[in-house]
Amino acid sequence: MGRLTKRLLDLCAASLGLIVLSPLMLAIAGLIRWRIGAPVFFRQTRAGENGKPFILLKFRTMTDARDAQANLLPDAQRLTPLGRTLRRLSLDELPQLWNVLRGEMSLVGPRPLLMEYVERYSLEQARRLEVLPGITGWAQVRGRNSLEWEEKLTQDVWYVDHWSLWLDLCILLSTVGVVLKCQDISQPGEATMEEFRGT
């Protein structure tokens, strides 16, 4: 019953969010098309519930600049000023409301990570895949990208073990404060989060 209620709330919130935020999302898409170019959206395969792959949507924040050997330049060199602003305000995450609507994500849950990370999890860490990934989550309001990987994954498993609709509501309310304060957007000294290589 709890999971069904959570899904119904996700559907209602994602639908309302897409309607209310559509002018803002259109404006962001236009800015990206003008300042960075096509495509507007960043698509990447991520691990969903039970490790099932799905295509995560984000607004594009980086260029595709490459070196002489056609390798992508480091994230810090490809992240644009517009992209940095979108990330600082967490606006690049808004397209994931479509992922929620499609049932691939929830508003709240462990953040969806790369498919190649799945085989690097310990048995305990892999339990984070027992629920739908979320746009925000327990780890995001308790340190976000300032946390080391092991701590972040531990927080994800804690969420799985203690999930409730009340906890989701508390996380959503806390997320507003974290976003407004622009806290812990990236790992100290990094443009994004360093690769998880296992523990």
- Look at residue 189 and tell me whether its pLDDT is greater than 60: no
pLDDT band at 184 (very low <50, low <70, confident <90, very high): low
pLDDT digits (tens, 9 = 90+) for 94-117: 999 999 999 999 999 999 999 999
Decide: 54 and 85 in contact? Cβ < 8 Å.
Answer: no
- Give one word for 192, left, alpha or beta, with left for phi > 0 and alpha for psi -120 to 50: beta
pLDDT digits (tens, 9 = 90+) for 163-183: 999 999 999 999 998 888 776
Encoding tokens for residue 183? Answer: 């806290």
Decide: 149 and 199 in contact? Cβ < 8 Å.
Answer: yes
Sole residue written with tokens 């895949």: 129
DSSP assignments along 118-180, one per residue = GGGS-TTGGGGGGS--EEE-TTGGGTGGGS-HHHHHHHHHHHHHH--HHHHHHHHHHHHHHHH
Alpha carbons 117 and 96: distance in angstroms, whole number: 20
Rounded alpha-carbon distances, angstroms, from residue 34 to 57, 86, 187: 19, 15, 29
> Which pLDDT belongs to residue 69?
80
- Look at residue 191 and tell me whether its pLDDT is greater than 70: no
Alpha carbons 143 and 52: distance in angstroms, whole number: 26
pLDDT digits (tens, 9 = 90+) for 111-170: 999 999 999 999 999 999 999 999 999 999 988 878 899 999 999 999 999 999 999 999
pLDDT digits (tens, 9 = 90+) for 42-93: 999 999 999 999 999 999 999 888 888 878 888 888 899 999 999 999 999 9
Decide: 152 and 139 in contact? Cβ < 8 Å.
Answer: yes
Decide: 110 and 131 in contact? Cβ < 8 Å.
Answer: yes
> Which pLDDT belongs to residue 186?
60
Decide: 141 and 174 in contact? Cβ < 8 Å.
Answer: yes
> Which pLDDT belongs to residue 143?
84
**Number of residues that make up the chain:** 199
> Which pLDDT belongs to residue 6?
94
pTM reported for the whole predicted model:
0.91
23 or 187, greater pLDDT: 23
